C-alpha cells in the first residue's frame, strides 16, 4: 500500500506541474504578443503608380552619378556655314521599301535621307514593309511608327521629301517600268554617284529595296562630314514617333519616376537571328537549340553565313561573340553594388528563350519591370489601333503516308535488326498545335509566317519604340548584346549612340564581353561565391567601360558597322574650358574621338571635368567607385578564405539605408 500511495503522489505532482507550466506559458505568450503586428504582404510598388506615392530616395553617386570625363561633350549636329539648302529642281525621285525590325528600319531611313542629299533627289516617304505585310493594320507604312509631317518639316533645309509619287509616275511604277536596286549596307558614295545617278537622271525615278539595315557605308571621308551630321539630324531629331507612341512612352517614364528611385534599363539582345549568326545555340536547352540551328542552316543556305553549321558555342562566348545571359548581368550589377530593390526596366519586345532565361535575374532584382508592368492592355490595344480580325490558325495534322511510302521507308531503315514500329497514335495536345511545336518535329524546313506572325512583327515595332523611349530616359543603361559582329544594326547600339549624343556623361555601360567571359570563367564552378579580388576586377572593368577608355574601345568596334552607334566627332562639340582630349584615330586614320569642334559660346555652361583615371568618381571624396565601394566586407572576405559570399551581401540590402 505505501508503494502505491507514493506512485499516486508522483503522478499527481507531475500533473500539477504540467498544468502550472501550461498556464505560465499561456500568460507569457499573451503578454509578449501585445506589440506584435500580424504579418501582411506589402507590394514592392504602388498599385496605380500615382505620382508622389513612391518615397523619394537620394541618388547614390557611386551608382547613378554622371561620368565626369565626358561632361565636356555636347550635342552639335547643326549644319556648318558651307551647307546650302537643296536645289529646287531635283534629279528625280527615290522610293524605297525597307525590311527588318525596329533598328534596321531606323538606320535605313537615315541612310536614305543621306543618299537623297548626295544625289539631289526627291525622297518619297519610305514604306515600312513589316507594317504593310501585317494584313489588316489600318495605319499605313511610315506613319505606323513615325510622324510624317515632323519628318518632312524638320528636313526641309536638307532634302525635298514628298509623301507619294505624282499620279503619272505612280502608274508607271505599278507596271515596274523603273529600275530597282538592292544596295548593301557597305555601299560607297561613289556607287551612288557613278552607278545610280546616271540612271536616276535618265529614268527620273529609281527604287531601292533595303533589307540589310542600311544602304550606305558607315564611315565616310572627312569631306562628307555634313552627310554624317545629316544622319544625326535624321535619327536624333527628325525621326519622332507618332504622338500616341510618345505619349504612352513618356507616361511609362513618369510612372517609373513617380516611384522616387532612379532606374536602370537593360536590353538582353537575345534575338534568334543574332544567336544563329554567331553560333550560340549551346547556351540554350532543348528545342531552343534546334530553333537556332534551323535558322543558322538557313543562313548558310542563303549564303549569308559562310561557316560550319555546328560550332562550339562556349568557344564563341569566350571570344565575346555571344550575349551576356541575364543571370550573368544580374551578378555583374550586384557586384557593382546595385541593391536587390533596384528598379530594372527590361527592354526588348522579343527575348529568345522566353521568361525562363529571366528567372535568375528576377530572383536577384525583385523590381524587374517591362512594358506589361507599366501599360494596361487597353493602352497597348489603343496604341495598335483597330485591326481587321484574322482567321484562327486551324491545326492540320500531317498527311497520312500511303502503304507504298511506308514500305519505302522500311527498306531505307538501314541494316537489320530493323527498328521497332512506331508507338500507337496519341492525342495531340493544344500546346503542340501552335508555333514551332507544330513543325519542328515534322519537317526540316521552317514554314512561312502566318498572318498572325506578320501582325506580331508589326506590333514589335511599337513595343520597341516604347522601350527606346524608356531606355533613353533611364538613369543607367546596360546592353546584353551589342555590336555582335554581324554588321546589322542592333537596338542596344542605337540606344547607346543616342545617349552618347544627347548626354555623353550619362551612365551607359559598355562591357567588353570577351573580358567579362574571362572573368566568369574564373568562377564558373562557384558562381555565387566569388573571391573578393574578383569583385574588384569586375568593378574596375565596368567603371572603365563607362569612361573615355571604354568609349574609345567600343567606337573602334561599333563605328565601322554603324555610324549612329558612335556619332563622334562629327555630331558633337567640346566646351572650350575643358582639357583637350587625346586624339584617337581608327584603322583608316580618321578621328573617332578628340577631334570635336569647339562649342559655341551659349553652350559654355558645362563644368570642367575633373581629371581622373577612369572618369568615374564619387563627388564626396574623389575616390573611384571600385576603390570606395562599401558593399564588400573585406574582413568577412578574409575569414572565408578570400571569398565573397554574394548571397550574404544580397541579404544585407534589407538593412542598408536607401539614402546611402
| Cα separation, 188 vs 351, whole angstroms | 34
Q: Is the pLDDT of residue 45 over 70?
A: no
Average pLDDT, stretch 548-566?
A: 90
| Cα separation, 202 vs 119, whole angstroms | 13
pLDDT at 529: 84
Q: Is the pLDDT of residue 196 over 90?
A: yes
Highest averaged pLDDT of the listed ranges 496-500, 528-532, 567-571? 496-500
CA terminus-to-terminus distance, the chain: 78
Q: Is the pLDDT of residue 522 over 80?
A: yes
Average pLDDT, stretch 168-172?
A: 88
| Cα separation, 558 vs 219, whole angstroms | 11
Reported as a single tens digit per residue, the pLDDT across 440-476 is: 666 667 777 777 778 888 899 999 999 999 999 999 9
% of the chain with per-residue pLDDT over 70: 77
Q: How confident is the model at residue 545 (pLDDT cuts 50, 70, 90)?
A: very high
pLDDT at 93: 95
User: Residue 229 — φ and ψ, nearest 5°?
Assistant: -65, -35
| Cα separation, 395 vs 210, whole angstroms | 35
Q: Are 570 and 228 in contact (CB under 8 A)?
A: yes
Q: What contacts 85, CB < 8 A, 6 or more positions away?
A: 157
The residue ranking higher by pLDDT, 497 or 171, is: 497
Q: What contacts 95, CB < 8 A, 6 or more positions away?
A: 124, 126, 127, 165, 173, 205, 206, 207, 208
pTM here is 0.81
pLDDT at 31: 52
- Residue 611 CA from chain centroid, whole number: 32
Query: Which stretch of 29-43, 307-321, 422-436, 640-654 has the lowest confidence by average pLDDT?
Result: 29-43
Q: What contacts 227, CB < 8 A, 6 or more positions away?
A: 114, 117, 118, 189, 220
Task: Enter the C-alpha cell of residue 456.
Answer: 506580331
Q: How confident is the model at residue 557 (pLDDT cuts 50, 70, 90)?
A: confident
pLDDT at 439: 63
pLDDT at 428: 56
Q: Is the pLDDT of residue 494 over 90?
A: yes
Strand, helix or coil for residue 136: coil
Q: Is the pLDDT of residue 261 over 50?
A: yes
Rg (CA), the chain: 31
Residue ranges with strand state E in 85-225: 93-98, 122-124, 127-128, 160-162, 180-181, 205-210
Q: How confident is the model at residue 51 (pLDDT cuts 50, 70, 90)?
A: very low
Q: Is the pLDDT of residue 41 over 60?
A: no
pLDDT at 424: 65
Burial class of residue 150 (count of CB atoms within 10 Å of its CB; 0-12, 13-18, 19+) = middle
User: Residue 654 — φ and ψ, nearest 5°?
Assistant: -65, -25
Reported as a single tens digit per residue, the pLDDT across 381-419 is: 999 888 777 776 555 666 788 888 888 877 777 666 666
Query: Which stretch of 40-49, 154-163, 224-233 has the lowest confidence by average pLDDT?
Result: 40-49
SS3 content of the chain, % helix, strand, coil (to 5): 45, 10, 45
Task: Enter the C-alpha cell of residue 353.
Answer: 528563350
* Order of strands, sheet of 263-267, starting from the edge strand that comes earlier in the sequence: 368-369, 343-346, 263-267, 476-479, 507-508
pLDDT at 4: 66
Arithmetic mean of pLDDT over the chain? 81
493 HSE (CA, 13 A, CB side): 29
Q: Is the pLDDT of residue 52 over 50?
A: no
The residue ranking higher by pLDDT, 577 or 536, is: 536
Q: How confident is the model at residue 205 (pLDDT cuts 50, 70, 90)?
A: very high
Question: How crowded is residue 5: how many other Cβ atoms within 10 Å of its Cβ?
Answer: 9
Grid-cell match 501582411, residue found:
40
Amino acid at each position: 500500500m505505501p508503494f502505491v500511495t507514493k506512485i499516486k503522489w508522483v503522478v499527481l505532482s507531475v500533473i500539477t506541474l504540467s498544468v502550472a507550466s501550461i498556464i505560465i506559458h499561456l500568460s507569457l505568450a499573451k503578454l509578449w504578443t501585445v506589440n506584435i503586428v500580424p504579418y501582411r504582404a506589402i507590394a514592392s510598388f504602388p498599385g496605380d503608380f500615382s505620382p508622389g506615392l513612391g518615397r523619394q530616395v537620394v541618388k547614390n553617386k557611386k551608382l547613378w552619378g554622371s561620368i565626369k570625363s565626358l561632361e565636356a561633350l555636347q550635342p552639335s549636329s547643326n549644319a556648318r556655314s558651307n551647307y546650302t539648302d537643296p536645289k529646287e529642281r531635283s534629279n528625280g525621285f527615290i522610293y524605297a521599301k525597307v525590311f527588318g525590325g525596329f533598328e534596321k528600319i531606323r538606320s535605313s531611313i537615315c541612310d536614305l535621307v543621306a543618299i537623297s542629299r548626295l544625289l539631289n533627289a526627291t525622297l518619297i516617304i519610305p514604306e515600312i514593309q513589316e507594317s504593310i505585310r501585317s494584313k489588316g493594320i489600318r495605319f499605313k507604312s511610315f506613319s505606323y511608327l513615325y510622324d510624317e509631317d515632323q519628318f518632312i518639316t524638320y528636313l526641309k533645309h536638307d532634302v525635298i521629301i514628298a509623301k507619294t509619287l505624282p499620279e503619272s509616275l505612280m502608274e508607271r511604277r505599278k507596271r515596274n517600268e523603273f529600275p530597282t536596286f538592292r544596295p548593301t549596307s557597305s555601299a560607297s558614295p561613289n556607287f551612288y554617284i557613278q552607278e545610280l545617278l546616271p540612271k536616276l537622271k535618265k529614268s527620273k525615278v529609281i527604287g531601292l529595296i533595303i533589307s540589310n539595315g542600311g544602304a550606305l557605308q558607315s564611315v565616310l571621308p572627312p569631306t562628307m562630314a555634313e552627310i554624317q551630321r545629316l544622319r544625326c539630324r535624321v535619327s536624333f531629331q527628325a525621326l519622332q514617333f507618332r504622338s500616341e507612341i510618345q505619349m504612352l512612352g513618356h507616361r511609362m517614364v513618369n510612372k517609373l519616376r513617380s516611384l522616387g528611385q532612379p532606374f536602370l534599363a537593360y536590353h538582353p539582345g537575345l534575338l534568334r537571328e543574332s544567336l544563329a549568326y554567331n553560333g550560340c545555340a549551346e547556351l540554350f536547352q532543348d528545342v531552343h537549340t534546334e530553333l537556332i540551328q534551323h535558322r543558322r542552316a538557313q543562313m548558310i543556305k542563303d549564303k549569308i553565313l559562310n561557316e560550319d553549321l555546328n560550332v562550339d558555342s562556349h568557344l564563341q562566348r569566350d571570344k565575346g561573340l555571344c550575349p551576356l545571359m541575364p543571370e550573368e548581368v544580374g551578378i555583374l550589377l550586384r557586384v557593382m553594388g546595385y541593391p536587390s530593390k533596384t528598379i530594372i526596366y527590361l527592354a526588348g519586345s522579343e527575348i529568345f528563350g522566353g521568361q525562363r532565361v529571366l528567372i535568375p535575374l528576377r530572383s536577384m532584382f525583385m523590381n524587374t519591370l517591362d512594358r506589361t508592368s507599366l501599360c494596361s492592355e487597353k493602352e497597348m490595344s489603343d496604341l495598335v489601333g483597330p485591326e481587321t480580325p484574322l482567321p484562327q490558325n486551324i491545326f492540320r495534322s500531317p498527311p497520312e503516308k500511303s502503304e507504298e511510302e511506308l514500305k519505302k521507308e522500311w527498306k531505307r531503315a538501314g541494316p537489320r535488326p530493323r527498328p521497332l514500329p512506331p508507338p500507337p497514335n496519341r492525342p495531340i495536345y493544344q500546346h503542340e498545335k501552335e508555333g514551332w511545336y507544330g513543325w519542328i518535329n515534322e519537317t526540316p524546313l521552317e514554314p512561312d509566317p502566318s498572318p498572325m506572325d506578320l501582325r506580331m512583327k508589326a506590333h514589335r515595332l511599337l513595343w520597341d519604340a516604347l522601350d527606346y523611349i524608356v531606355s533613353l530616359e533611364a538613369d543607367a543603361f546596360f546592353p546584353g548584346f551589342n555590336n555582335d559582329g554581324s554588321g546589322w544594326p542592333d537596338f542596344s547600339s542605337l540606344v547607346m549612340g543616342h545617349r552618347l549624343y544627347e548626354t555623353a556623361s550619362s551612365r551607359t555601360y559598355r562591357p567588353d564581353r570577351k573580358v567579362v567571359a574571362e572573368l566568369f570563367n574564373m568562377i564558373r564552378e562557384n558562381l555565387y561565391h566569388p573571391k573578393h579580388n574578383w569583385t574588384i576586377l569586375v568593378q574596375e572593368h565596368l567603371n572603365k567601360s563607362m569612361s573615355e577608355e571604354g568609349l574609345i574601345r567600343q567606337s573602334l568596334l561599333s563605328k565601322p558597322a554603324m555610324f549612329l552607334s558612335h556619332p563622334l566627332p562629327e555630331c558633337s562639340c567640346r566646351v572650350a574650358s575643358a582639357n583637350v582630349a587625346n586624339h584617337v584615330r581608327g584603322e583608316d586614320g580618321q578621328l573617332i574621338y578628340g577631334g570635336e569642334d569647339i562649342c559655341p559660346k551659349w553652350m559654355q555652361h558645362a563644368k570642367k571635368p575633373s581629371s581622373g583615371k577612369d572618369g568615374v568618381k564619387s563627388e564626396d571624396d574623389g575616390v573611384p567607385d571600385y576603390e570606395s565601394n562599401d558593399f564588400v566586407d573585406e574582413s568577412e572576405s578574409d575569414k572565408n578564405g578570400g571569398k565573397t559570399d554574394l548571397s550574404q551581401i544580397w541579404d544585407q540590402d534589407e538593412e542598408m539605408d536607401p539614402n546611402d
